[in-house]
Amino acid sequence: MPIDDSSEEELPLAALSHPRLAGLYRFWDARRGARAMPCRADFLPEDMLPFLGYIILIDVEETPRRFRFRLVGTEIVQSYGFEVTGKYTDAVQPPSYRAMIERHYAQVADLARPVAHRMSFTESPGRVHELVRLSLPLSDDGVRVNMLMLASVFGPELARFRERQREERGGAGG
């Protein structure tokens, strides 16, 4: 019987302390300028080298609303062991994780603002995935979100980052 367990917590953007997530947020913010959100064309691959392996681009389709993975970075594919580029979120397992990410994607599309989450889910045979994800809206017309750009920190990298943070707090008398 597959395990179907997940948890989630929305994080304030100020809590994004990992350099990749904080850096991508600053990059997105600079590209948007005075607009509510930038468009996909504002991001050139050569300008995004530090982020590329960890980026997911998702098309936001309306009527009915669906989310399609346009691009999934190589680091993400290697970590999870499967490729979902070109597929819809319907392909995501377990169902609890699929429901969670669809809620997150809808939240960003509806609010048209960045959102960060800490989440975990367990898949059969008990492999636990923990990650922190930043979801950024993109818009071709400046009003309607038609794409999402996501970046994550997960797995051993997340564990090492948390350990470094603990050591730094401990070394500073905390």
pLDDT 10s digits, 50-105: 898 889 999 999 999 999 999 999 888 887 777 899 999 998 877 877 888 999 99
Count how many Cα atoms sit within 13 Å of the Cα of residue 89 in the half-sphere of its side chain: 21
Domain with 160, as residue range(s), is 5-171
Q: Where are the alpha helices (DSSP H) in 5-122?
A: 19-32, 74-80, 95-111
**What is the tens place of the pLDDT at every residue in 100-121?**
899 999 999 999 999 999 887 7
Helix (H) or strand (E) holding 163: helix 155-171
Full DSSP string of 18-42: SHHHHHHHHHHHHHHTTSSS--GGG
Q: Is the peptide bond before 137 cis (omega within 30 degrees of 0)?
A: no
The answer to whether residues 55 and 149 touch, using CB atoms and an 8 Å cutoff, is yes
Residue 123 has a pLDDT of 67
Mean pLDDT score of the chain? 85
What CATH number is attached to the domain comprising 41?
3.30.450.20
pLDDT value at position 36? 95
Which residue would you say has higher pLDDT here, 123 or 139?
139
Q: Is the pLDDT confidence value at 31 over 90?
A: yes
Q: How confident is the model at residue 5 (pLDDT cuts 50, 70, 90)?
A: low
**Dist. CA 87–CA 77, nearest whole Å:** 13
Domain total for the chain?
A: 1
